[in-house]
Amino acid sequence: MIHIKEAITKKEMKQFVKFPFSLYKDNPYWVPPIIKDELETFNPEKNPVFEHAQARYFIAYKGSTPVGRIAAITNSYEIEQQQLKKMRFGWYDVIDDIAVSEALLNKVQELGQEKGLSYMEGPVGFNNLDKTGVLIDGFDHIGTMITWYHLPHQQKHLETLGFVKEKEYLENKFLFKNVSEAKYTKAGNLIEKRFQLKARNFTNSKEIMPYVEEMFDLFSKSYSKLSTYVPISDSQITYFKEKYISFINPEYIKFVFDKDDKLIAFAIVMPSFSKALQKARGKLFPFGLFHMLNARKNAKDVIFYLIGVHPDYQNKGATAVIFREYVKSFKAKGIENCIRTPELEDNIAIKNIWKDFDPQTHKRRRTYRKDI
């Protein structure tokens, strides 16, 4: 007998967050979150995303044993301004029992019907900076701190229950040695001179902070035409700045300015924390922080988290200036592998950025939709 309970209390929310620790126990490819950070993500007093989003959290039980979880999410901007009558669902993890998936997804559907929405889509988070998509290929590759891991049965459950593909995302990686130092030094210098651009590198996080708002403004200009785009508020930018910027290696953040000192391109790269998070097992103390700091300093794999180019410069080679600067930083650090975050399969502009590096698609993920 399956019963669904809404997670409301602190104890219940902790159980919601910790369920994947049992589902993926001993799985060498799952990367656990830091429990404290995950709880803060769901806390309206901590996370400003709740200015425009609402969420409810559900756990499925067989007897007293948790066997699945799901978050039911609405984004008011998406519904009211973009007229997308969408019920989102995310943090979808279940045992291999389709009845569990059905019970959880039915709960999301009921909420969508109560709100007068037209369809449900997931797995997705609150907005563009959140994790997205159920893994459909690449189960034998380690995850990252900014993606979900799933087992093959979760895709099968969705399709069996009548969900259809909405969007597909590709995850690619390439060897750093595929990035020609000579080519990008020459190309970067040429583009920089032709368009009167200038790159800016950083040695500490304080130097970056004054530019974060301008960076997100450029992010909006770069991505607003994508079908998944949901604007990011000023308070969310502040939240991101305070929570993440100080932890990212400053030398892995690159900005490019025009002759009037306006930001026209940026990129944020992070060292891979995957192995460190596996060792931390959801906790920063007593030893998790040591593993994270060690990865920050010594990781040989990097994750390309965000890259944005102003539309006026997207066909003018501005990324050559960015890659010229990364070649210097990565060479000094001994970087070996470059891993990209999930990118929409139909995002031609982003594909063109990476085409010279012989990228290999090692994972695929999808969001699924169903009319309600």
We report the CATH number of the domain holding residue 217 as 3.40.630.30
Is 206 within the bounds of a domain?
yes
Instruction: Clarify whether residues 346 and 245 are in a common domain.
Output: yes
The verdict on residue 183 lying in a domain is: yes
Other Cβ atoms closer than 10 A to 282: 18
**Domain total of the chain:** 2
Final residue of a structural domain among 121, 143, 170 = 170
Residue 252 sits in the same domain as residue 277: yes
Residue 164 domain-assigned (yes or no)? yes
Domain extent at residue 139: 2-170
User: Same structural domain for residues 125 and 232?
Assistant: no
Looking at the structure, tell me whether residues 89 and 217 fall in a common domain: no
Domain ends where: 170, 196, 230?
170
Q: Do 74 and 182 sit in the same domain of this protein?
A: no
- pLDDT value of position 340: 95
pLDDT in tens, the chain (372 residues): 999 999 999 999 999 999 999 999 999 999 999 999 999 999 999 999 999 999 999 999 999 999 999 999 999 989 998 899 999 999 999 999 999 999 999 999 999 999 999 999 999 999 877 999 999 999 999 999 999 999 999 999 999 999 999 999 999 999 999 999 999 999 999 999 999 999 999 999 999 999 999 999 998 888 777 666 777 888 988 888 888 887 899 999 999 999 999 999 999 999 999 999 999 999 999 999 999 999 999 999 999 998 999 999 988 999 999 999 999 999 999 999 999 999 999 888 888 889 889 999 999 999 999 999
Classify burial at 219, counting beta carbons within 10 Å of its beta carbon; exposed 0-12, middle 13-18, buried 19 or more. Answer: buried
Nearest alpha carbon to residue 266 among 204, 221, 206, 235: 221
Query: Concatenated DSSP letters for 185-198?
Result: HHHHHHHHHHTT-E
What does the pLDDT read at residue 84?
93
Q: What is the pLDDT of residue 231?
A: 76
β partners of residue 67:
none
- Give the residue from 348, 346, 347, 342 showing the smallest Cα distance to 364: 342
Q: Are residues 151 and 186 in the same domain?
A: no
Between the alpha carbon of residue 54 and those of residues 5, 235, 367, the distances in Å are 18, 16, 20
Q: For residue 372, is it within any domain?
A: no
120 and 157 co-located in one domain: yes
> Would 105 be classed as within a structural domain?
yes
19 and 151 housed in the same domain: yes
Range list of β-strands (E), 208-329:
253-257, 263-271, 301-309
**368 part of a folded domain:** no
Of 170, 185, 201, which marks where a domain is finished?
170
Tell me the sheet residues that pair with 292: none
CA-nearest of 301, 196, 215, 296 to 254 is 215
